[in-house]
Chain A
Amino acid sequence: MVGLPYDCLANPLGAVRLTFEKAVASGSDPAALDGKDWGAAELFRQFLFDDGGLSQVPMLNPSTINWVQPNTLVRFRGMIQDMLGNEYYVGAYKDGDTWRTNKFADASTCPMDASSDMRIWERRLLYCVPVPGQSSWVEPSHEAMKSPYTNSVSPQREKRHREDDTNMIDIDMDSEHDLEDSPNSKKLKIGTEQNSSNLSMVPAIGRNSLPCLVKIYDSLESDLKLNDVFEFVGIFTFDPDVTVDRDDNDELIDSFCEDVSVHLPPTKVPRLHCVAHRKLVVDDFLSSPILEFNPCAVKELREAVLGHLTAVLGNDRVAAQYVLLHLLSRVHARIDSIAVGKLSLNLTCLNKESMSVFGNHLKVAMENLLPFTQHLPLTLDYLNTVSLAPKKDYSTNRLVSGFLQLAEGSHLTIDETPLQAGTLNSNGVENARVLKNLMQSQKVEYDFTYYKMEMAADVQLLVLSEGKSNLLPADLVLPFRPSSVGSTFGVDEEMLKAWRLYLATMKLLPHSIESHVQKVIEDDLVAARQADRSLGSEEFSRWLTMGRLMSVSFGETCLSVEHWQMVKELEGLRKERLLGNM
């Protein structure tokens, strides 16, 4: 810490302050700055991405929150669950004759003097939660996440370190603030103790997950969208001491302050003042480096994954093939109301008994293979009571997350077998409608009371049911024919890693078609329709999606006649089963 005038990691605010002072000294007028960046973002960008500082930044999660220091840099990975609008804060103010800034900080570091000159800037507030249904392997293992602090083993040294830290801040800050700072670290300890009990009170969030209020500076509105998965790097503040005055019953105040501080008290939800953010793709969750696939290796991998799925599905290879295609599907285009590329699958002929075996196996397999999976056992009671679609609660001005608020590319297994005959109430009907809508158009209607807003989704849907599900019309219906009790044992971690990588990479492959293949397909479709008038655009669309996925599963970017034939064969097998089932 000697060489640098500041340490981006441990004292990012110092860096902010220093660059600000530099900018002011070099003649830029804080009044005209209007909250725009003055060079701090570039500094952090350089530190994080060019100098490889990113890996040193500790990840914020329930296990690290206990030792992460306030006012240091942390990383947070999560999905944008709600947008809380903009917040106006005192961006720059005059302390005596010098300009100071509050950017990237919660409250001003010095008591605000009423006489001081100040500028109001704005920042965006995003409420982020860990991605719903995140598989356990996605969390980076703890060894990989060791922070510079925990590296120093003895508690004494850690303490020492903290003192260092405080001292350093003291030096950087004006002398009057040191009193404020050192209690802060003490407070944190108290705060985190309360934290464990408090966290469970935050609604709609699982026990071991940690929501975070991210404050965004200098970013285009269109960059960050609802339900996007992002990694935010920012300055962590967690201020369990600031309490909202509950005695204050003035309704006026309540209605003005109803948002952030009341419903997301800083004691429960940590704050992150974001200095850099990037959108995450599935690759980022895979710890292994991206492999260069050659066709041969892909074929082998495909065979291995297929073998695994076949084993899971009790030796039903046809089903395994369909599941593989299903796992590779994604919405790659939206034309009018049609979501092109989705392939939802309905496995029928499952009853309660077989579900207890295969259902669980499937669930485990999905969790092992995919980063975000959700399992939804459908019961009447559940449909009638919960609200699947997210809903705006105007009394708290928050978007209440529903089960169907999922990140892009999530996998959702809906188990219809527990569903009994009975009456749906209006809530149940609404839920069924929302599910159906998601199946058909990959859109979820968010309920804003006075109107509904459709949000595009990209969720792979797998329905498990006894007979063909009419409630949830899937693209594909396949009677499930297991011939043995499947087993999922004997899969080692390395294999899983490769498979995950295979699925993630293949899913994102671009795809095209050559004109001669196009001609062949067109002829095929015409012939099929001439032979069977019941075939319509839905079937054709499904075949083409399957053709695309089939060739993608071989790692190819161009549809070949061979793969098209495979699809037709597969569909033939399926049709046989469907007929045999009747």
Chain B
Amino acid sequence: MPFTAKSGKFNAKINAVTIGTGDKAITIGGENVLPFYTFDEAIENAPKVGIEITDGGMEAEPECIQKCYEGCTSVVDMAKKAVTFDGVDFLSIRLEGGDPNGKNKSTEELIQLVNDVAAAVDVPLFVCGCKNVEKDAELLDKAAAALAGKNAVILAAKEENYKTIGASAGLAYKQVVGAESAVDINLAKQLNVLLTQLGVSGQSVVMNVGTASAGYGFEYVVSTMDRVKAAALSQSDATLQMPIVTPVASEVWNVKEAAASEADMPEWGNQEERGVDMEIETAAAVLAAGSNAVILRHPESVKTISTLVKELV
């Protein structure tokens, strides 16, 4: 019997969400096939790769990354440099210094920085909070206001603060709202429902369904992403058709395989290689599981993943 290949394209598709403005704007999502299944149907918008810096500047970076930003004396300098690296589609600024249990920087100080960074670069911007839900509600509300007209991604609204961040970023300032859940598919769906019930258009929501560094409970991450895409495409579930954005860097560079120095762990070899490897492995895996964008930190990882995507799509 002759074999007839059946196309695996779906009737449903992932929402195409545009981020940023002007020539450098990017669009993620829009596909009606599983990740990288270009043999079933062309994927119009290849996954995008972003680079991340933090308000901590050079000091907050591991030595191997500091090297790449040689000569930079401020976060704004780093931002300008970051967007020149090969393969960078967007810039992410993570405001981790806002954490009340950490440096507890004031909202005013951090928003000033967001303004300065936004003025210095023309690529699409992602603003990530400090992971403290109360502080993020305040910080990301102000960030959304500061970036009015930039069509930036605000990461992220969580179950605890989605009303404030959704109303501010989604309704008042028309940014793209990131909806964050921690590797919990039912909550991922619920948060999208709540945001849309609040009045935020499903077309301006992206999801961070949670991640981990490869090797750290990562199979749950992959299965969550797999099931999100399956529900979105095969069940036409409109509440899960938002593209997935995965911040990889903030996970990877905290695990011992990436963070331990060669002096502490001589048998593990060069720290930079280890860190970059972890970042590339994690990013490649979440892309294969359905992420539409990844946020990375080392320029070498950005370049490698960007090349990988270009070869595949």
Q: Do A and B come from one complex?
A: no
Residues of B within 8 A of A (CB): none
